Amino acid sequence: MSQDDHAAALALAGEAADALRSATGADDIHAALVLGSGWVPAADAVGRTVAEIPVTDLPGFAPPAVAGHAGRIRVVSTASGRNVLIFLGRTHLYEGLGVGPVVHGVRTAIAAGAGTIVLTNAAGGLRPETQRVGDPVLISDHINLTGANPITGARFVDLTEVYSRRLRELARAAEPSLAEGVYVAFRGPTYETPAEIRMCRAFGGDLVGMSTALEAIAAREGGAEVLGLSLVTNPGAGLTGEPLDHQEVLAVGRATAARMGELLATVVDKL
Ligand code: 8IG
């Protein structure tokens, strides 16, 4: 990707934001929420639906590739009357479309006015001693092992505080029991080997997944504040001896939807 491509990607996000405004009538987007697998069932709790469209109605969005990734964009009005954009599903790097489509939603949200981006995901837990399956964990930082970066050119974006301390404190005020952890991002689509999981633990990782880090980088580049939330759906490979299964991820999401919905609604309303 050249710097011209990067400028074109930002322009495409601007076009998508214009199309979003025309399609939904919402011209005052306060924040955006990206719901990963496991989180989509929690969406209805966040607010009253103002409009909902397939992502493919907007320029630059790829159709959904995975069961449980719904590929729709919803505008909701929260309890305090603010418009929040919800992405029901996301594009992953492992789909092979490149990094542009992975961060297009975040860039579109920022172009539409969002000053806060909430990124959610389902993740493997690297600390089964303290993490339970079905627990939400605040992302405190990440280790980007995807080999990709959404930024091209000599733009040395500061990543000292990707995941806003202020927003983490706000989330903990809503749910004081929330643990924090470092999210290790892999390209996927394979899960890790047990040796890679041991490496991640030794590196200081607490969570492992295939999303979020690149979107968080794009959000920081765009000047938005980021909140990251992982739903622990399995212990990392080799930590228990059980093989990993995507259906389990979706089942944990359905089982925890009420709790995650309440958490999201409370947090989003305070943004
Ligand atoms: I859910 O154990 C979920 N997503 N890389 N590893 C990676 N991604 C995941 C995992 C996991 N669990």
Spacing, Cα 191 to ligand 1 middle (Å): 6
Around ligand 1, the residues with Cβ closer than 6 Å are: 122-124, 186, 188, 191-192, 208-210, 233-234, 236, 244, 249
When pLDDT is averaged across residues 94-100 and rounded to a whole number, the result is 95
Spacing, Cα 217 to ligand 1 middle (Å): 20
Nearest alpha carbon to residue 235 among 121, 130, 120, 128: 128
What's the pLDDT at 67?
56
pTM of the model: 0.95
H/E stretch holding 74: strand 72-77
What's the pLDDT at 254?
82
Q: Tens digits of per-residue pLDDT, 3-25?
A: 788 889 999 999 999 999 999 99
Q: Tens digits of per-residue pLDDT, 251-268?
A: 888 888 888 888 999 999
Nearest alpha carbon to residue 202 among 184, 216, 187: 184
What's the pLDDT at 241?
75
Give the ligand 1 atom nearest the CA of 233.
Answer: 1
What's the pLDDT at 1?
60
Give the ligand 1 atom nearest the CA of 37.
Answer: 1
Catalytic one of 70, 95, 111, 260: 95
Higher pLDDT among residues 261 and 93, named by residue: 93
When pLDDT is averaged across residues 38-60 and rounded to a whole number, the result is 92
When pLDDT is averaged across residues 99-107 and rounded to a whole number, the result is 97
Ligand 1, atom 11: closest residue by C-alpha:
124
Q: What is the mean pLDDT of the chain?
A: 92
When pLDDT is averaged across residues 197-202 and rounded to a whole number, the result is 97
34's CB contacts (< 8 A; 6+ apart) are 87, 90, 105, 106, 117, 118, 119, 120, 215
Ligand 1, atom 9: closest residue by C-alpha:
209
Cis peptide before 189 (omega within 30 of 0): yes
Q: Which amino acid is located at 189 in the chain?
A: P
- Does the annotation mark 177 as catalytic? no
Residue 69: pLDDT band with limits 50, 70, 90: low
- Does the annotation mark 122 as catalytic? yes
